[in-house]
C-alpha cells in the first residue's frame, strides 16, 4: 500500500510511538494520535509530524472504553475524512507476584493490552472497508510469540499479549477479502525501562545475540513494512535481535 496521503491512527504514542509517528510522517502519512496521560508528549509528536510537512491531531482517550475508542475515529473522520491504518500500541507492562494479583489488576491488564486492540480494530474496520482496504498493526511480545513465559510475575501481561497474537490471526482471516491486512509486532529488547540500572542494561545486551538493544527506529521500520505490504497478513513478527534463539 502506498502510504502517501493516507491516514494512520496510533494509540499509545509516546516513547517508541513518537518514533513510529515520525517514520510514518516521513512516508507521507497524516496522523491521529491518542493519549491518556501524556498530552505534552503527544503535542511534541504533532510538532515532529508538522516539521516534515504532514498533518496530525491528538485526542485524549482511555482505549479500554468503547466510547473513547469510537471518539478517536470520530475525530479522525472529522479531521481527515478517512482511516487507512491503525497502530495499536497502547500497553501497560508491570509485574506482580501471582498471589498478589487481584481481579481488578487482572482486568486492567487485559483491558489495556488486549481489549483496547479489539475495540479500536472493531471501530476502524468499517472505515477501512469504506476506502477500499487498510492495515492494522498490533503489539504483542517476543516471549509470547516464542511460546515461552520465561519470567514469573507477568501472568496477566503474558495472557493478554497471547490474546493479541490470537486476535491478530483471527482478524486477519475475517477481513482479508476486504484488503485489510492485520499483523503484529513482538518487540524484544528495544529501549531499557526507565528504572533499569546500567548493569541490567548491559546484561540484556549481552544476552541478545546481536549484542545490543534495538532502539526505537527498529520498531518504526517494522511498522512501516507492515503498513506497506500487500501480502503479509496474520503474522506476528519478532523484532528482538535474535533473543528468542538464546
* Of residues 78, 85, 97, 119, the one with CA closest to residue 8: 85
The catalytic position among 105, 151, 157, 158 is: 157
Q: What is the layout of strands, in order, in the sheet containing 7-11?
A: 56-60, 30-35, 7-11, 85-88, 134-139, 180-187, 236-239
Rounded CA separation 28/135 (Å)? 15
Is there a catalytic annotation at residue 157? yes
Q: Which 3 state secondary structure label does DSSP give 76?
A: helix
Q: Which 3 state secondary structure label does DSSP give 193?
A: coil
204-207 long-range contacts, CB within 8 A, separation 24+: 207/243, 207/246
How does 183-194 read in b/e, with b if 16+ C-beta sit within 10 Å?
bbbbbbbbbeee
Distance of CA 182 to the CA centre of its chain: 12
User: Which residues does the annotation mark as catalytic?
Assistant: 157
Amino acid at each position: 500500500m502506498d502510504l502517501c496521503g493516507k491516514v494512520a491512527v496510533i494509540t499509545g504514542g509516546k516513547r517508541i510511538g513518537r518514533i513510529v509517528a515520525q517514520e510514518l510522517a516521513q512516508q507521507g502519512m497524516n496522523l491521529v494520535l491518542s493519549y491518556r496521560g501524556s498530552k505534552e508528549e503527544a503535542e511534541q509528536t504533532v510538532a515532529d509530524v508538522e516539521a516534515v510537512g504532514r498533518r496530525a491531531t491528538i485526542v485524549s482517550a482511555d482505549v479500554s472504553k468503547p466510547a473513547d475508542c469510537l471518539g478517536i475515529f470520530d475525530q479522525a473522520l472529522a479531521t481527515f475524512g478517512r482511516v487507512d491504518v491503525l497502530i495499536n500500541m497502547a500497553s501497560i507492562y508491570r509485574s506482580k507476584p501471582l498471589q498478589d494479583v487481584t481481579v481488578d489488576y487482572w482486568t486492567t491488564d487485559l483491558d489495556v493490552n488486549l481489549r483496547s486492540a479489539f475495540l479500536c480494530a472493531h471501530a476502524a474496520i468499517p472505515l477501512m472497508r469504506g476506502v477500499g482496504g487498510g492495515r492494522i498493526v498490533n503489539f504483542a511480545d517476543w516471549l509470547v510469540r516464542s511460546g515461552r513465559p520465561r519470567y514469573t510475575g507477568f501472568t496477566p501481561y503474558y495472557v493478554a499479549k497471547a490474546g493479541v497474537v490470537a486476535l491478530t490471526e483471527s482478524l486477519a482471516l475475517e477481513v482479508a477479502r476486504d484488503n485489510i491486512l492485520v499483523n503484529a509486532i513482538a518487540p524484544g529488547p528495544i529501549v531499557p525501562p526507565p528504572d533499569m540500572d546500567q548493569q541490567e542494561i548491559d546484561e540484556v545486551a549481552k544476552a541478545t545475540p546481536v549484542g545490543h538493544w534495538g532502539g526505537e527506529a527498529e520498531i518504526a521500520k517494522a511498522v512501516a513494512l507492515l503498513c506497506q505490504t500487500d501480502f503479509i497478513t496474520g503474522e506476528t513478527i519478532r523484532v528482538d535481535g535474535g533473543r528468542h534463539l538464546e
